[in-house]
Amino acid sequence: MRPWRAGVSLALALAPLTWALVLLVERATRPEPDPVAVVWAERSPFVGRAVVAGYVSVALATLLMALAKRWRAVRGERAWNAALALGAVGAVVQVVAWR
76, burial (CB in 10 Å: exposed 0-12, middle 13-18, buried 19+): middle
Q: Tell me the pLDDT of the chain (99 aa) as tens digits.
A: 677 777 788 888 888 888 888 888 877 887 766 666 566 666 667 777 788 888 888 888 888 888 888 888 777 788 888 888 888 888 888 777 665
pLDDT at 14: 84
pLDDT at 42: 64
pLDDT at 50: 81
- For residue 78, the enclosing domain spans 3-98
Number of domains the chain is built from: 1
